[in-house]
Chain A
Amino acid sequence: MTDTALTHAQPEKPGFFTIATMQKAVAFVVLVALLIFFSVFAANFAAWNNMVNIMQATAVNGVLGVAVTLVIISGGIDLAVGTMMTLTAVMAGIVLTNLGMPLPLGIAGALLSGAAMGGFSGAIIAKLRIPPFIATLGMMQIARGLALVFSGAKPIYFNDTPSYQYISPESSITSLIPGLEIPNGVFVMFGVAIIASIILNRSLLGRYIFALGSNEEAARLSGVNVNFWKIVTYALSGMICGVAGLLVSSRLNSAQPALGLGYELDAIAAAVIGGTSLAGGRGTVLGTIIGAFIMSVLTNGLRVMGVQEEWKIVVTGVIIIIAVYVDIALRKKM
């Protein structure tokens, strides 16, 4: 069998033809194909205005996708990312509008509340041994309810904090390169993606995330404090949900407490389309970002083409199934 072992030799810097790379390549090709298709067949799709729309829509789902990707690679799942995002937005609203504190404290409020909620989910999963699906299903409702309670079920506006706009819709790059308009939120998303990617591939936490997702018991028997790292993973994921909360509320100039349900499914879909395995142990941040772009290009493109809103949902479902099938097919070939 040494022969087989040698033929499967894979170099460290994964060569171009590793499955992960292939998958991202396939996803990227699909994205480009969609862009070309809609540019040709949907009038005004290619307009810069519309591109800005797509990017802004992707920013929120992309960041949530990254949050859930970390958890999925660690062998878990987080259904609460959508409503945790909403609760963090409400927290920012309370700090900034209700308490009248300065912007940095509002940002800190969103990030810390996200980390706390994520950490809480992680603790329930690790210490009480409640399956992640159930624990985060509970957390999803808890966060949703708390967002309504804290806000009094009314939107909180950020009119007192004009600088809040700079988090997402404003385009700071325009002052550097006149004429170019890219909302800040897009840069925030790429920033989050890069940091998460570095954490995943270069940090101790990242290494443990992969080990937990691949074989938790082997990691435990290696002396790894499995519970601790699980909690840290969920906390980090929750903190990233806080970023998404800032983005979405900045874009709407308000924290909308009723928002959030359904976002978790889009986030998970982005991760899956990008090649993250729901079985854990496998996935990339870049893939998730591409997945998020595919979803928003599709949604936007179909809308511009005048396709009925409801059909978009159907198409999204089909895309998810195709993406997973491509994954399976690629894997069989290797």
Chain B
Amino acid sequence: MSAAAKAHAATAAGSSGDGPSDTLSKVEMRAIEKRFPGVHALRSVRFDLRAGEVHALMGENGAGKSTLMKILTGVYHPDSGEIFVDGKQVTIPGPKAAQDLGISIIHQELYLMNHLTAAQNIYIGREPRKGFGLFVDEAKMNADAAALFKRMNIRIDPSEEVGNMTVARQQLVEIAKALSFNSRVLVMDEPTSALNETEVEHLFAVIQDLKANGVGIVYITHKMDEVKRIADRITVMRDGQTIDTVPAEGTSMARIISLMVGRELADATRAEGTGTETEMLRVAGLNRGKAVKDVSFTLRKGEILGFAGLMGAGRTEVARAIFGADPIDSGEIHVRGKRAMIKSPKDAVTLGLAYLSEDRKHFGLVTPMSVRDNVTMASWQRFTSGRMWMKDAALRKTSKEYVDLLKVKTPTVDQETRLLSGGNQQKVVIAKWLLRDCDILFFDEPTRGIDVGAKAEIYKLLQGLAAQGKSIVVISSEMPEILRLSHRIIVMCEGRITGELDGKTATQESIMTLAAQGWGKAA
């Protein structure tokens, strides 16, 4: 059966009744309803996509963006509502049907097989055959893939193993795979979350090409600047409803944010005060492989020190090395004026250091365990009688205190941590370290995956901690975040510190200049 015939089969629901209102629409979704047990996930949602446009889909986490796109790509079935593709009403019973209709999705986490080549990944399950269909025609497959890449104006070797590629190139392979299905509609879920600035530029160029070829793109993102740059229209969702669809041109960021959160946010403010003079942490000549080169800095009591830089600048590696998570090659670490030998995270914690990873689910939390156990995990030894038996009543009481203190939204402290939202999970991790009496806190991308409203709350929390005399390092790729929080800013590039800025006077431009130093040399 040809692709067209399959697509026809998928439209078997017929196009009787009224047609789509906007004949220009490639895809139109109308009055989509979806309920999950206990949640009304989508309420009469409408969404449309024109050929050759980039339509940004925005909203806080849990607004319903993913659910809507899962319906469009056949993962979920709507309880009611209509979907039109090219003016014909369709039902999309599964991902295969969506593919046959020319609808593909590029997920945030890529679904590629690392040990296969680019071409093998693209044509997996439909390899060209030779020799009575017993053998794969690798030559033809590579040639086809090369032709695809050429059409996209990108240079990738079809016979290169995907596992050896950067995330950015892997993503391009995914896009090529989608195009190989003759996709006319491409859903991209936060495609730039793991890319550096150059890679983002490259991706945008590919997107422009796709647009010019008439491909419609649904672009899910949290990043305002990207939307401003590439989107033609913006649809904002909130609480499972379509709030509004607006043209990207002439709509201010503040307006979009207010649509997303349902209230206007005050303009970003700068950090107040400067911290004290007391030195809490001094790092001198820290080296670790290629990632960390001769890094020296100090951190004072009550200070928020921002670590800015592009992806891969070595900021996370610095924090992990200081924390004892990875071994160092050389360098000295002084904590509260004393030379510290940190060989493992355990040593670091004993000295009052804490590292809050950007990847909370893998490195910060034991998600199947309760909020109570996660809050107290670093301090369990304290809650035992005779270092043997757990004092559960005390655990519960103390974790409750910290949950209240940080306003963690959870029905009880016995809730499994995986059921909490990103912002509340982050608060649980913070509570863990506060309870452990840590006063030197490394925050790696503290608001990654946290929705706009909760971000402000995390900022307030960090500022409050600094005001109480905790010393805080904030590693962030979001410059407004660095500018808003930091008393001082250290900028890194390719494993080295390239400069230090005053938080009050630094600008995005001054940070960027330091962050991009050496990039010219590398290229």
Chain B window 397-422, contacts with chain A (Cβ cutoff 8 Å), 1 for yes, 0 for no: 00000000000011110111001110
Contact B367 A7 (CB under 8 A): no
Whether, in the assembled complex, B390 has its beta carbon less than 8 Å from a beta carbon of chain A, the answer is yes
Contact B390 A207 (CB under 8 A): yes
B residues near A (Cβ < 8 Å) are 36-40, 61-62, 323, 325, 344-346, 348-350, 355, 357, 362-370, 372-373, 377-378, 380-381, 384, 387-390, 392, 396, 409-412, 414-416, 419-421, 432, 436
Given contacts A214-B368, A220-B345, A222-B345, contact A12 B412 (CB under 8 A): yes
| Residues on the B chain within 8 Å of A8, using CB | 415-416, 419
| Residues on the B chain within 8 Å of A223, using CB | 345-346, 348-350, 378, 436
A218 to B374, CA, bound (A): 10
Question: What is the CB-to-nearest-CB distance from B512 to chain A, in angstroms, rounded to a whole number?
Answer: 31
Selected from B61, B377, B409, B420, the residue in CB contact (under 8 A) with A222 is B377
**Interface hub of B61, B363, B366, B387 (most chain A Cβ within 10 A):** B366
Given contacts A7-B37, A224-B346, contact A207 B380 (CB under 8 A): yes
Interface majority SS (helix, strand, loop, mixed), chain A: helix
Whether, in the assembled complex, A5 has its beta carbon less than 8 Å from a beta carbon of chain B, the answer is yes
Contact A3 B38 (CB under 8 A): yes
Whether, in the assembled complex, A9 has its beta carbon less than 8 Å from a beta carbon of chain B, the answer is yes
Given contacts A1-B62, A203-B389, contact A221 B345 (CB under 8 A): yes
| Residues on the A chain within 8 Å of B61, using CB | 1
A174 to B372, CA, bound (A): 46
10 A-B pairs with CB atoms under 8 Å apart are A5-B411, A5-B419, A6-B411, A12-B414, A204-B387, A204-B390, A211-B369, A211-B373, A218-B363, A220-B325
Contact A222 B349 (CB under 8 A): yes
Q: When A and B form their complex, what is the total count of cross-chain residue pairs whose Cβ atoms lie within 8 Å?
A: 116
Task: Please name the residue on chain B nearest to A210 by beta carbon.
Answer: B369
* In the complex, the 8 A-B pairs of residues with the closest C-beta atoms, listed nearest first: A223-B349, A7-B38, A1-B62, A12-B414, A9-B411, A222-B378, A215-B366, A214-B366
Chain A window 201-230, contacts with chain B (Cβ cutoff 8 Å), 1 for yes, 0 for no: 011101110110011011111111100000
Given contacts A203-B389, A222-B349, contact A9 B412 (CB under 8 A): yes
Contact A3 B414 (CB under 8 A): no
| Residues on the B chain within 8 Å of A218, using CB | 362-366
Given contacts A5-B410, A12-B412, A223-B349, contact A214 B355 (CB under 8 A): no
A207 to B36, CA, bound (A): 33
| Residues on the A chain within 8 Å of B367, using CB | 214-215
**Interface hub of A2, A11, A206 (most chain B Cβ within 10 A):** A2
Whether, in the assembled complex, A251 has its beta carbon less than 8 Å from a beta carbon of chain B, the answer is no
| Residues on the B chain within 8 Å of A4, using CB | 36, 38-39, 419
CB contact list, A1-27 vs B, under 8 A:
1-12
A218 to B370, CA, bound (A): 14
Contact A10 B416 (CB under 8 A): yes
Question: What is the CB-to-nearest-CB distance from B385 to chain A, in angstroms, rounded to a whole number?
Answer: 10
Whether, in the assembled complex, A281 has its beta carbon less than 8 Å from a beta carbon of chain B, the answer is yes
Selected from B348, B366, B370, B377, the residue in CB contact (under 8 A) with A12 is B370
Selected from B37, B369, B388, the residue in CB contact (under 8 A) with A203 is B388
Selected from B39, B364, B381, B412, the residue in CB contact (under 8 A) with A3 is B39
Question: What is the CB-to-nearest-CB distance from B424 to chain A, in angstroms, rounded to a whole number?
Answer: 8
Task: Please name the residue on chain A nearest to B353 by beta carbon.
Answer: A223
Contact B369 A11 (CB under 8 A): no
Question: What is the CB-to-nearest-CB distance from A229 to chain B, in angstroms, rounded to a whole number?
Answer: 11
| Residues on the A chain within 8 Å of B366, using CB | 210-211, 214-215, 218-219, 281
Whether, in the assembled complex, A144 has its beta carbon less than 8 Å from a beta carbon of chain B, the answer is no
Question: What is the CB-to-nearest-CB distance from B407 to chain A, in angstroms, rounded to a whole number?
Answer: 13
Question: What is the CB-to-nearest-CB distance from B445 to chain A, in angstroms, rounded to a whole number?
Answer: 15
Question: What is the CB-to-nearest-CB distance from B42 to chain A, in angstroms, rounded to a whole number?
Answer: 13
| Residues on the A chain within 8 Å of B390, using CB | 202-204, 206-207
Question: What is the CB-to-nearest-CB distance from A279 to chain B, in angstroms, rounded to a whole number?
Answer: 10
| Residues on the A chain within 8 Å of B369, using CB | 210-211, 214
Question: What is the CB-to-nearest-CB distance from B327 to chain A, in angstroms, rounded to a whole number?
Answer: 14
A202 to B377, CA, bound (A): 14
Contact B389 A204 (CB under 8 A): yes
Contact A202 B389 (CB under 8 A): yes
CB contact list, A221-277 vs B, under 8 A:
221-225
Question: What is the CB-to-nearest-CB distance from A22 to chain B, in angstroms, rounded to a whole number?
Answer: 16
Task: Please name the residue on chain A nearest to B368 by beta carbon.
Answer: A214
